[in-house]
Amino acid sequence: MKKIFIAFMLIAGSFAAQAQDIYWETNLNVAADKAIKENKPMLLFFTGSDWCGWCIKLQKEVFKTTDFADWAQKNVVLVELDFPRRTVQQPDIQQQNAQLQQIFEVRGYPTVWLVTPTKTDGKMNLGKLGSTGYVAGGPSKWLEGANQILANGKATAATPSGPQAAKKI
């Protein structure tokens, strides 16, 4: 009986170690409004969710961990820009994602951009903070790189010239 109880506790504990659910917005305008309201940058995740092996690996090793979920909740607004091959997408989301792929010159997946959104006269600008992709070493190594991008972005934003080339959308 003790063995069954211990096995049950180990299984239950492994489920508890899974990341809490985090929300990935797919509409850039909604995400930008939230980011501006909360004064946070956006994390743009360019992915091929149903075919890209490295994207799936990044999701599993980093984005689906409690470390990442805790970090994301405090630091960024998450935006998933998906390019699936088997999953049907709404045409407006497909068009938005294709436009952003061109603007950010995404050539491979996964690509992650950290950006600061601003809106002036109804037009959105995205200030580039920096980009990354899959980084071996799990969540701590990936988050170290993301924190460096955010730190560099804050230092750049403090200068009179502001963030790297803002992209108008």
What is the predicted pLDDT for the residue at 21?
Answer: 83
CA angle 59, 130, 98 (to 5 degrees): 65
The H-or-E segment that residue 42 falls in is strand 42-47
Give a yes or no: residue 15 inside a domain.
no
- What the block records as the tokens of 6 is 């211990």
The tens digit of pLDDT for each residue in 122-156 reads 899 999 999 999 999 999 999 999 999 999 987 76
Which amino acid would we find at residue 150?
L
What is the predicted pLDDT for the residue at 122?
Answer: 86
Buried b (16+ CB within 10 A) or exposed e, 110-126: bbbbbbbbbeeeeebbb
Give a yes or no: residue 6 inside a domain.
no
What is the predicted pLDDT for the residue at 157?
Answer: 58
CATH for 39:
3.40.30.10
Residue 56, domain extent: 22-168
Give a yes or no: residue 78 inside a domain.
yes
- Higher per-residue pLDDT: 9 or 49: 49
Give a yes or no: residue 12 inside a domain.
no
What is the predicted pLDDT for the residue at 160?
Answer: 42
As a whole number of angstroms, the distance between CA 113 and CA 98 comes to: 15
Give a yes or no: residue 164 inside a domain.
yes
What is the predicted pLDDT for the residue at 2?
Answer: 52
Q: What is the dihedral of CA 159, 161, 163, 168, to 10 degrees?
A: 160
The tens digit of pLDDT for each residue in 5-25 reads 444 444 444 444 455 689 999
Give a yes or no: residue 8 inside a domain.
no
* % of the chain with per-residue pLDDT over 90: 77
Rounded to two decimals, what is the model's pTM? Answer: 0.83
- Higher per-residue pLDDT: 162 or 98: 98
Q: Domains in the chain: how many in total?
A: 1
Give a yes or no: residue 40 inside a domain.
yes
β partners of residue 43: 78, 114
